[in-house]
Amino acid sequence: MSLQKTKEIGIRKVLGGSVSHILWIFGKEFSRLILIAFLVAAPAGWFMMSRWLENYAFHVDMSLWILAVEIGIIGVIVLFTVGFKAARSALMNPVKALGTE
Protein backbone atom coordinates (compact mmCIF):
# COMPACT_ATOMS: atom_id res chain seq x y z
CA MET A 1 0.00 0.00 0.00
CA SER A 2 2.85 2.38 0.74
CA LEU A 3 4.28 1.73 -2.71
CA GLN A 4 0.92 2.50 -4.29
CA LYS A 5 0.53 5.68 -2.27
CA THR A 6 4.05 6.98 -2.85
CA LYS A 7 2.84 9.90 -4.96
CA GLU A 8 0.11 10.76 -2.47
CA ILE A 9 2.65 10.79 0.35
CA GLY A 10 4.97 12.99 -1.73
CA ILE A 11 2.20 15.49 -2.47
CA ARG A 12 1.13 15.58 1.19
CA LYS A 13 4.71 16.24 2.29
CA VAL A 14 5.20 19.00 -0.32
CA LEU A 15 1.98 20.66 0.82
CA GLY A 16 3.13 20.62 4.44
CA GLY A 17 1.87 17.32 5.80
CA SER A 18 3.76 16.05 8.80
CA VAL A 19 5.11 12.56 9.27
CA SER A 20 2.72 11.98 12.16
CA HIS A 21 -0.25 12.91 9.95
CA ILE A 22 0.86 10.47 7.26
CA LEU A 23 1.33 7.73 9.87
CA TRP A 24 -2.17 8.50 11.21
CA ILE A 25 -3.67 8.02 7.73
CA PHE A 26 -2.01 4.61 7.31
CA GLY A 27 -2.88 3.54 10.86
CA LYS A 28 -6.51 4.54 10.50
CA GLU A 29 -6.95 2.56 7.29
CA PHE A 30 -5.30 -0.58 8.61
CA SER A 31 -7.10 -0.37 11.95
CA ARG A 32 -10.44 -0.44 10.19
CA LEU A 33 -9.43 -3.44 8.11
CA ILE A 34 -8.10 -5.35 11.12
CA LEU A 35 -11.21 -4.58 13.18
CA ILE A 36 -13.55 -5.74 10.41
CA ALA A 37 -11.52 -8.93 9.93
CA PHE A 38 -11.57 -9.61 13.66
CA LEU A 39 -15.33 -9.05 13.91
CA VAL A 40 -15.89 -11.52 11.07
CA ALA A 41 -13.41 -14.16 12.26
CA ALA A 42 -13.89 -14.01 16.05
CA PRO A 43 -17.36 -15.61 16.23
CA ALA A 44 -16.36 -18.41 13.87
CA GLY A 45 -13.14 -19.04 15.78
CA TRP A 46 -14.97 -18.92 19.11
CA PHE A 47 -17.52 -21.49 17.93
CA MET A 48 -14.96 -23.88 16.41
CA MET A 49 -12.62 -23.70 19.42
CA SER A 50 -15.47 -24.25 21.87
CA ARG A 51 -16.62 -27.33 19.96
CA TRP A 52 -13.07 -28.67 19.69
CA LEU A 53 -12.28 -28.16 23.39
CA GLU A 54 -15.48 -29.98 24.47
CA ASN A 55 -13.99 -33.31 23.36
CA TYR A 56 -11.13 -33.31 25.88
CA ALA A 57 -11.32 -35.12 29.21
CA PHE A 58 -10.22 -32.02 31.08
CA HIS A 59 -12.72 -29.51 29.80
CA VAL A 60 -11.48 -25.96 29.21
CA ASP A 61 -13.96 -23.12 28.85
CA MET A 62 -13.39 -20.28 26.41
CA SER A 63 -13.63 -16.88 28.07
CA LEU A 64 -13.87 -13.40 26.63
CA TRP A 65 -10.46 -12.32 27.87
CA ILE A 66 -8.92 -14.67 25.31
CA LEU A 67 -10.49 -12.64 22.50
CA ALA A 68 -9.22 -9.43 24.11
CA VAL A 69 -5.70 -10.85 24.25
CA GLU A 70 -5.96 -11.94 20.62
CA ILE A 71 -6.99 -8.51 19.36
CA GLY A 72 -4.26 -6.96 21.50
CA ILE A 73 -1.56 -9.20 20.03
CA ILE A 74 -2.83 -8.59 16.51
CA GLY A 75 -2.87 -4.85 17.17
CA VAL A 76 0.73 -4.82 18.37
CA ILE A 77 1.92 -6.84 15.37
CA VAL A 78 0.06 -4.55 12.97
CA LEU A 79 1.36 -1.46 14.78
CA PHE A 80 4.97 -2.53 14.35
CA THR A 81 4.79 -3.83 10.80
CA VAL A 82 2.57 -1.14 9.31
CA GLY A 83 4.19 1.57 11.41
CA PHE A 84 7.65 0.63 10.20
CA LYS A 85 6.66 0.58 6.53
CA ALA A 86 4.61 3.78 6.82
CA ALA A 87 7.39 5.59 8.67
CA ARG A 88 9.89 4.57 6.03
CA SER A 89 7.58 5.88 3.30
CA ALA A 90 6.79 9.07 5.23
CA LEU A 91 10.46 9.86 5.83
CA MET A 92 11.32 9.41 2.16
CA ASN A 93 12.31 12.45 0.12
CA PRO A 94 9.19 13.75 -1.71
CA VAL A 95 11.30 14.64 -4.78
CA LYS A 96 11.98 10.93 -5.36
CA ALA A 97 8.27 10.14 -5.07
CA LEU A 98 7.18 12.84 -7.46
CA GLY A 99 10.12 12.56 -9.83
CA THR A 100 8.99 9.24 -11.27
CA GLU A 101 6.27 10.92 -13.38
- Domain residues for 62? 6-98
Contacts of 5 (CB under 8 A, 6+ apart): 89
Please report the pLDDT score of residue 62 as a whole number. 77
Q: Which residue has the higher pLDDT, 41 or 5?
A: 41
Number of domains in the chain: 1
Is 1 within the bounds of a domain?
no
Q: Which pLDDT value is given to residue 101?
A: 59
CA quadruple 33, 39, 42, 44: dihedral positive or negative? Answer: negative
Give the C-alpha separation, 49 to 59, whole Å: 12
Q: Does some domain include residue 15?
A: yes
Query: Would you tell me the crossing angle of helices 64-90 and 19-53 to the nearest 10 degrees?
Result: 150
Q: What's the pTM?
A: 0.68
18-76 pLDDT, tens digit each? 888 888 888 888 888 888 998 999 889 888 888 888 888 887 777 888 888 888 898 89
